[in-house]
Structure 1
Amino acid sequence: MTISEALTVDQVIDRMERLQATFPAGDGVGVFNHVYLRVTRLVAERLSDGYFADPAGMSELDAVFAARYLEAVEAAASGRRPAHCWRPLFELRGRADVHPLQFALAGMNAHIEHDLPLSVLDTCRLLGQEPEDVRADYHRINDVLAQVEAEVREELLPCPDELHAADRLLHVVGVWSIDRARDAAWASVLALWELRHSPLVEDAVAAALSRSVGMVSRALLTPVE
């Protein structure tokens, strides 16, 4: 049984809340977990208020999506290496010279540009749908992600008395945009969907995507202190 099959959205939230209590102060994975917990709580609220056209389908997508992050956490905890897209965050999670905003964006980069398109495809297969069937709700989920990303940037950017580090930080995090990430993720959905009848090619492209996303995450985690 996979994590997505075993957990509901509420159980995913409970799992991440329990994880949050285990992270030491300053842990980079803990920074991202806190951000992602906010996203998941917002999605849970929207599932019951008419925000999504297909709440049941989006509940499944949310669980499948979360499973990829939770599997990376489990891999690292058991001494295994997580997927390439996640490795920079887990390898550099304890660096004191990396700003919390960098950890947050590196996690979002891995989860949006790699995990989200693969999760959309998994959900489409599971529910017998095509990407076009979920396009509208996909963009609604992206709106939630964008809302939290904007809040996180505002909260974590250095205050005026830390401006000595602000220029270096802004230079590094300026390479990543959630709008570009969302567009790239949807393009990956469409490209991989076209390869669904060629599984070897699809797997090769997905593996290359994981590596390229990991390269961006590593750049986002360039020390700034």
Structure 2
Amino acid sequence: MPIHAPRLAPRTVKSVVARMRALGAALTPGDGVAVFNRVYLSVTEEVGRRLTTGYFQDPAATEELDVRFAGRYLEAVDAAVAGRRPPACWRPLFQLRRHPGVRPVQFALAGINAHIGHDLALALLDTCRARALEPTALEGDFDRIGTVLTGLEERIREDLMPGPDVLDVADPLTHLVGSWSLDAARDAAWATFRTLWGLRGLPELTEEFVARVDASVGLVGRFLLTPLPSG
């Protein structure tokens, strides 16, 4: 059953939050996309709250970045609903979203991996182009968003990982989750963005580079979603 009909791209964080809430209401809680959506909704709400508190140096640019970033996730959802192929980075999550051997924390990390590993660099690039900014203009607020995301990663591990009694017999899960790093993914996204910025004006090379990043991030996502035996 379709999870929602494609809509116009959101233009504010408030409209992004509304889309995510509607999506979450339409999905069953155990759906892998629903797991990631809940996590992403919580961090988007937090970014939205901080936009009005003076936390960000350039709230307008940060909101545009956040909206462009979220838009790529929502476009992937719309593609899946319409029967089109989403970007390679998102395909593992959509293909394995109902697999009984994949744990909630794996779904959450696979979604974050796809979104940060592929979508973040492109959202940064689009924001700089749209606002005629140099990358350095976004770097400070990029790091401030990173602080919010660090709290998100901690929440994921607290809420979605099994308790200590279960972890004793879930070594493969512990190893799998521990092998992925949010900080490393963010650093890679920034490096990818800087590379794309340097490649602007070379569309063929840019397209090839983006396609290779997409495929590589998708491969990591596939490993993160490795089905595991129950305890």
Aligned twin of 2:115: 111
Q: How much does 1:141 deviate?
A: 1.0
Identity %: 54
Residues 89-115 of structure 1 show CA distances to partners (whole Å, capped at 9, x for unaligned) of: 000000111010000000000111110
Higher helix proportion (structure 1 or 2): 1
| TM-score in terms of structure 2 length | 0.93
Task: Say if 2:72 is the partner of 1:75.
Answer: no
The residue type equivalent to 1:93 in the other structure is: R
| TM-score in terms of structure 1 length | 0.96
Q: What does 1:159-170 correspond to in 2, within 5 Å?
A: 159-163=163-167, 165-170=169-174
SS in 1 for 2:65: helix
The residue type equivalent to 1:200 in the other structure is: E
1:137 to 141, 147, 150: 141
| Contact 1:165–1:224 (Cα < 8 Å) also in 2 | no
1:224 to 202, 224, 228: 228
Corresponding pairs, count: 223
1:46 to 50, 56, 64: 50
| Contact 2:167–2:174 (Cα < 8 Å) also in 1 | no
SS in 2 for 1:21: helix
CA distance in 2, matches of 1:147, 1:173: 16
SS in 1 for 2:60: helix
The residue type equivalent to 2:24 in the other structure is: Q
| Contact 1:113–1:185 (Cα < 8 Å) also in 2 | yes
CA distance in 2, matches of 1:140, 1:154: 22
Task: Say if 2:162 is the partner of 1:148.
Answer: no
| Contact 1:89–1:106 (Cα < 8 Å) also in 2 | yes
Q: Which runs of 5+ in 2 are unaligned?
A: 1-6
Aligned twin of 1:11: 15
Aligned twin of 1:172: 176
| Contact 1:113–1:182 (Cα < 8 Å) also in 2 | yes
Q: How much does 1:3 deviate?
A: 4.8
CA distance in 2, matches of 1:218, 1:64: 25
What CA RMSD, in Å, does the superposition of the two structures yield over aligned residues? 1.3
| Contact 1:35–1:104 (Cα < 8 Å) also in 2 | yes
1:185 to 175, 183, 189: 189
SS in 1 for 2:90: helix
Residues 91-144 of structure 1 show CA distances to partners (whole Å, capped at 9, x for unaligned) of: 000011101000000000011111001100000000000111110011111111
The residue type equivalent to 1:148 in the other structure is: L
CA distance in 1, matches of 2:68, 2:8: 8
| Contact 1:26–1:96 (Cα < 8 Å) also in 2 | no
SS in 1 for 2:55: coil
The residue type equivalent to 1:108 in the other structure is: I
Q: How much does 1:165 deviate?
A: 4.5
